[in-house]
Structure 1
């Protein structure tokens, strides 16, 4: 009996709970949807993912529930029916989603046709609900008019979401960036003119005019640029460099313009321009930015704010007396009226905050600034708000890098019965529970240091300036993954073997060798800045190799890592030796350094059965430890920065785009900075406009 009573109560209050839940999910999505571009933590991603999925399900189910309630029309009071129908447009409004999140992942954009079908079906369902409830007694101008206004606003928002998803789909995004066909100079006409001059007895010759170099000066004046100019430049360059995310190429002229600008920037400001561009790309992929940041979109946003305001005024004029007509319970009636006010107030709040976010956006500032002096005061006002809520010193992405250390993992991953069960499930049934456990248990994050950014900036700027006399050599510099640093130190003959192997092998070799050098007890000055930076990049690169393999070049990195870990665990826990205490990385490093690899080459002993590189890394560490300490760590840091840049350049644009919704990756920031400095293979058009001229000697 109690269960039946509870079921009856739920049946009476179900629709009310659903519409309030739908509103609560939209509030959460609006305020939390934009945070993930600079927050990489799981505690935000998981609730946001659940809210993103539930928001549509709840709204669609609630609309279906409303249509079912119309079958009970004879048992409903007219005033109550009017309120139930009044809620249907709000569900359409909620299905339109929030400006800060249209897609949780880039793959969601490919489902825009499904959302278009949902738009049509849910609009028809809402119309069906209204039609079934229409009657002279149930008609009231103060509830019908607001319902129609909110219905139009809801369809507008839902249409915006569908258009935003379509615009962000990879096919549409790529096609929107294609340039019109350009046949170039008329070659046939050029040849005919040359021949006609020759036949006329004139001396005609073709002169090749050299392409304008980026900036031949070896040194340029570094200056501090105003924050507004940085935002403006980032928005202007984004129109060109967004093509990299869909694997399109840039022109020779693009490289000249970008390099000329970035060479004059300070390190912090160069990274800031890249950060703003990544924010713009994130918003293009995961928000309504492609639709609302235009004069039509902004006008529609004013309408979607005016709609709930006008509806609220009209609904308030209905009066309690009119809504109180009938025999229904007074408390239920007051609750329904209160829910209606909550829905209207929530719509006003959501639209107001959405407009505020739209105003303090680089999109809006750039559009106003492009409007000339007439709109300059408005642009300055928007810039003031941007500096207030998004100051230059505030990072636009997570500004963190994940860490995964091989020696630490091997020491802490002690044999346990539950780990054995997880490994059995992983290897027998392909349930990657052990992989997920290791990722959660042994991965940590740290802030990206200013010193590391400075090293990256200086190396890229140095490589860019080294190509001034030979602009076509910029691609070669992007292919280096340690060779350039070794050659500059005169150590390529000695250590080149460690960087000329497969890239995943090189990462593991230098990762283990860096740790062995880091824990060397003979360091005179302790752990300084360069050793710490080197180890941070080393652990980050291993994290990418093991936990983000889709961002690395195709390799057997995970197999090689597994074999190396297996050998390391066996070495640390050999029978007869003292038990190694978990966390004693320094002690394990000392034991590895004590192995004499000069007796026999590790590869000759092990063969090709195992891909482990543990003792090859010990050999590399011995060679590094023979170098002077100061020069050693400058070399190690230089090699790691070069490996970082190489990995960034070889990662596909779609993989970089995928990580923008998870707080961003340092690899993506470095990749875009490389493109701006003209280092890498993003530029494959090596000439600009026509360079041949016809010269006639009379």
Structure 2
């Protein structure tokens, strides 16, 4: 009998399998604790793939190692094995329990993992049983005290992870925020008294009075800008106050994740603070810290560790591990009792375990959560900070947002606007800090994507260009071959068919041999190959995958600019003044352009004509149409209407371009964040793309690769008649609807002197807000683990301004009282 696996390889495996599994488990723990915090700072798929694979393999490797140790404990020793190695391996089993507890920086890779907390309870029970079995098999064992200490540490770590998963599961997360039932005033008793007084013919009436706590509410949060005249010069929030406000609002608005309803008090308190912020950057900083708290609560152990029980358990777990290491280190005659390699592995387990524990403690102590939870907002902002608060303030200042003034690229001096772009260092930022954009016309024409701002250095820019160049060429070759190969096959087929037919007519023998052989077999081979490829491609979704990979070549990141954030902040702040009732707030949150158009168009303009481009189209249709129209306007020669500042004009132009391309990126590349229109949006995109390809081919500009030429060609087409009146509604394309919209915007500017970019920029903010508040809340939270997106910030900012339908603003502010006249 031939052995498939050679004997010497089996021997190596038998000797090193347990050690290898132990080292693998330890390595995966190191990867998770070092790299998992980075996933909230970047959407890079390579990093996310590394964390994902390590997260899945970590539990498997630990369970596999425990199984190997359990099997080894019941196996007869070989002659060459040291007699007491089993006793040392009994120490490794609780270390694997420690590994199964996972690092503090990640408990769940996705929200769905939190729902599996019960599985981890059973896992803890069975792993504990397996550990006890391994230890019992090694008795008598001089390492029993060390094993017990590590076992205690591992059990505590596993319990921490299970508790974190339990508390972050959406059902338990919701239950933890639901207050005690409030039956309200005793209606039956009140009506009995009312009826009795009426029967006694006493003048009686029921009136509503304000709740006692409405006039005597707890002290409102006081913004430093309102504190005193002395602080007017220093009216900005300190770094510690930013974290404190974020922590307070996190505890209030985390109910957004599970769609809870908020009271008018919570809305008023948040609105008052955000309306009085002196700088929109403060709102950005509060929200980024607040989203960080939300990420920590749902994907890490931080929320559990910042409780009294959690802190005590961590002290005990770390203390027992340190004590176990000291006892093992002081144990005499280790080298003679145990195999030297096993002693090295044990020291490695202790050393790496203690190092990872130290890293976890440092991350715990110097986190935003610690700074906010161990300090409180001052009633008097002029009060001097304590030494502890001064330290926290200094610590938080290290992660302050960093901005760099930069001009827009490749626009020429006459079209340039200077903006401050976000350039916070990678390890200091709390989210990715960039806005991914995708442009339809650039994709349709295979044009090079130009950045408006480029915060990268020259070295990174050249390195990225060199990295993407082969993929661009490869995709171009694949596309070219995909277009020319079928044409070449058809041309060869026609040529051969003609020859075969001609030969068959002249020679009878050819009619009975060559003709059936060719048409019955050879000519069907290309069709058969295409049939097999189509079935294979459909089964594995290869075509969509290749298409998505190709689209990523047209995606790039624009850095967040301070001016863009300020523009969106001020727009929502202005709208919040009209959201004084639940109905108005809901009406504003449901607006997708019409509110802005009616509020900003001149009174004598044909308002309903432009409003019809929103109200007469579905949301996904509006997105694609306004996106293409924005690009058509962007590629036209600019004329600044009289009375408009040049800098404001070009800033609005830039804001419109970035938000337009960003929303298109969400629609095409992030359908999970646009779940309401993801399906039909993809169909409409493909139909519009097909019409653009057909149009460019007919005008012989399919290989020009220039968006400006393509835009001019589209605008040259007469569009006096509605495209649907000519084509019908079979096709979902909006290419020439967008052309009509662009012409109407240009006409508005020429006839009424109204800057089209001012209107477009505000419309795009409204379209983005509509997407933000209609995206499922769990999709927002999931995105936090992939670098975060601007739409997540807009979603939370709208909640702070009360522009959602989750506020019962007018409820609960009055109480019934029975009044008896004399």
TM-score (norm: length of structure 1): 0.90
> For 1:342, which of 325, 344, 348 is the aligned residue?
348
CA contact (8 A) 1:109 1:165 kept: yes
Q: Cα distance 1:586–1:485, how it changes in 2: closer, same or farther (>3 A)?
A: same
d(CA) in 1 for partners of 2:480, 2:367: 52
Q: Secondary structure at the match of 1:445?
A: strand
Alignment partner of 1:407 is 2:522: no
d(CA) in 1 for partners of 2:313, 2:759: 57
d(CA) in 2 for partners of 1:144, 1:447: 57
Q: Secondary structure at the match of 2:43?
A: coil
d(CA) in 2 for partners of 1:313, 1:381: 37
Alignment partner of 1:687 is 2:811: yes
Mean Cα displacement is larger for which, 190-199 or 47-56? 190-199
| Structure 1 unpaired stretches of 5+ | 327-332
CA shift for structure 1 position 645: 0.8
Which residues in structure 2 correspond to 1:76-91 (within 5 Å)?
A: 76-91=81-96
CA contact (8 A) 1:79 1:324 kept: no
d(CA) in 2 for partners of 1:489, 1:460: 15
Cross-structure match for 1:119: 124
Cross-structure match for 2:757: 633
Cross-structure match for 2:164: 164
d(CA) in 1 for partners of 2:270, 2:796: 11
Cross-structure match for 2:574: 462
CA shift for structure 1 position 203: 4.3
Alignment partner of 1:503 is 2:503: no
Which residues in structure 2 correspond to 1:652-663 (within 5 Å)?
A: 652-663=776-787
Please give the root-mean-square deviation of Cα atoms over the aligned residues, in Å.
2.9
Cross-structure match for 2:704: 581
Cross-structure match for 1:318: 331
d(CA) in 1 for partners of 2:760, 2:794: 18
Q: Secondary structure at the match of 1:662?
A: coil
d(CA) in 1 for partners of 2:50, 2:256: 31
CA shift for structure 1 position 198: 5.1
d(CA) in 2 for partners of 1:262, 1:371: 16
CA contact (8 A) 1:368 1:379 kept: no
Q: Cα distance 1:563–1:92, how it changes in 2: closer, same or farther (>3 A)?
A: same
Cross-structure match for 1:354: 360
CA contact (8 A) 2:746 2:756 kept: yes
Alignment partner of 1:561 is 2:685: yes
Cross-structure match for 1:364: 370
> For 2:52, which of 35, 44, 49 is the aligned residue?
49
d(CA) in 1 for partners of 2:146, 2:433: 46
Mean Cα displacement is larger for which, 230-239 or 506-515? 230-239
d(CA) in 2 for partners of 1:132, 1:502: 69
Alignment partner of 1:487 is 2:499: no
Alignment partner of 1:383 is 2:495: no
> For 2:265, which of 250, 253, 263 is the aligned residue?
253
d(CA) in 1 for partners of 2:163, 2:574: 44
- Which string of whole-angstrom CA distances, capped at 9 and with x for unpartnered residues, describes residues 269-325 of structure 1? 112111111111111111112321101101111112112211111111113x34314
CA shift for structure 1 position 554: 2.7
Alignment partner of 1:241 is 2:250: no
Q: Cα distance 1:565–1:343, how it changes in 2: closer, same or farther (>3 A)?
A: same
Mean Cα displacement is larger for which, 362-371 or 116-125? 362-371
Q: Secondary structure at the match of 1:401?
A: strand
CA contact (8 A) 1:73 1:133 kept: no
CA shift for structure 1 position 56: 1.0
Alignment partner of 1:304 is 2:317: yes
CA contact (8 A) 2:628 2:738 kept: yes
| Structure 2 unpaired stretches of 5+ | 227-231, 380-384, 403-423, 447-474, 487-529, 641-645
d(CA) in 2 for partners of 1:133, 1:390: 51
CA contact (8 A) 2:318 2:357 kept: yes
d(CA) in 2 for partners of 1:315, 1:417: 66
- Which string of whole-angstrom CA distances, capped at 9 and with x for unpartnered residues, describes residues 159-207 of structure 1? 1111111111112112222222111122233344445555566544444
Cross-structure match for 1:477: 588
CA contact (8 A) 2:104 2:302 kept: yes
Q: Cα distance 1:668–1:54, how it changes in 2: closer, same or farther (>3 A)?
A: same
Cross-structure match for 1:281: 294
Q: Secondary structure at the match of 1:446?
A: strand
CA contact (8 A) 2:674 2:771 kept: yes
Q: Cα distance 1:52–1:128, how it changes in 2: closer, same or farther (>3 A)?
A: same
d(CA) in 2 for partners of 1:457, 1:605: 42
Q: Secondary structure at the match of 2:804?
A: coil
> For 1:602, which of 700, 718, 723 is the aligned residue?
723
d(CA) in 1 for partners of 2:324, 2:539: 60
- Which string of whole-angstrom CA distances, capped at 9 and with x for unpartnered residues, describes residues 601-622 of structure 1? 2011111111000000000010
Mean Cα displacement is larger for which, 644-653 or 414-423? 414-423
> For 2:99, which of 94, 117, 120 is the aligned residue?
94
CA contact (8 A) 1:202 1:696 kept: yes
Q: Give the number of aligned pairs.
A: 676
Cross-structure match for 2:41: 38
Mean Cα displacement is larger for which, 541-550 or 197-206? 197-206
Q: Secondary structure at the match of 2:436?
A: strand
Cross-structure match for 2:174: 174
d(CA) in 1 for partners of 2:589, 2:173: 27
Q: Secondary structure at the match of 1:686?
A: coil
d(CA) in 1 for partners of 2:165, 2:265: 32
d(CA) in 2 for partners of 1:295, 1:623: 63
CA contact (8 A) 1:36 1:662 kept: yes
d(CA) in 2 for partners of 1:536, 1:322: 65
Mean Cα displacement is larger for which, 74-83 or 250-259? 74-83
Q: Secondary structure at the match of 2:557?
A: strand
d(CA) in 2 for partners of 1:542, 1:193: 63
Q: Cα distance 1:94–1:440, how it changes in 2: closer, same or farther (>3 A)?
A: same
Cross-structure match for 1:329: none
Q: Secondary structure at the match of 1:442?
A: coil
CA shift for structure 1 position 389: 4.9
- Which string of whole-angstrom CA distances, capped at 9 and with x for unpartnered residues, describes residues 625-671 of structure 1? 12338611000000000111111111121221221111112111101
CA contact (8 A) 2:36 2:51 kept: yes
d(CA) in 2 for partners of 1:36, 1:190: 58
CA contact (8 A) 2:676 2:775 kept: no
Cross-structure match for 1:643: 767
Q: Secondary structure at the match of 1:627?
A: helix
Cross-structure match for 1:15: 18
CA contact (8 A) 1:478 1:646 kept: yes
CA shift for structure 1 position 521: 2.7
Cross-structure match for 2:734: 613
CA shift for structure 1 position 384: 4.3
Mean Cα displacement is larger for which, 184-193 or 102-111? 184-193
d(CA) in 2 for partners of 1:286, 1:382: 27
> For 1:670, which of 780, 784, 794 is the aligned residue?
794
Mean Cα displacement is larger for which, 650-659 or 278-287? 650-659
d(CA) in 2 for partners of 1:188, 1:385: 58
Specify the structure having the higher radius of gyration (Cα): 2
d(CA) in 2 for partners of 1:592, 1:418: 26
CA contact (8 A) 1:472 1:686 kept: no
Mean Cα displacement is larger for which, 477-486 or 364-373? 364-373
